[in-house]
Amino acid sequence: MEKLITEIEYEMVNSLNNMQMEELHKVLLKKLQDLDFIHKANNKNLNNEEVDYCNIFICAK
């Protein structure tokens, strides 16, 4: 029983971490949309695909 509880706790923590990362991603997207290098990256995107602003931010560091 203790092992089962530990496994459930582990899964709950993982789920929470994933939710927090998704929320962080949304916040970063919103904050970074106004930066100049984001607009330049969008203009360079020839396939008109959505640019992942978080990855651009990480690469730009």
Splitting the chain (61 residues) into consecutive groups of 10 residues, what average pLDDT does each group show? 85 84 80 62 53 52 42
For 25, half-sphere exposure in the C-beta direction (CA atoms, 13 angstrom radius) is 9
Report pTM: 0.41
pLDDT of residue 14: 83
Q: Are 41 and 51 in contact (CB under 8 A)?
A: yes
Q: What is the pLDDT of residue 47?
A: 54
Instruction: Give the pLDDT confidence score for residue 61 in this predicted structure.
Output: 42
- Which pLDDT value is given to residue 60? 46
What integer pLDDT is reported at residue 51 of this predicted model?
54
For residue 38, give its domain range: 2-60
Q: Which residues contact 32 (CB under 8 A, 6 or more apart)?
A: 38, 53, 54, 56, 57
> What's the number of domains the chain is made of?
1
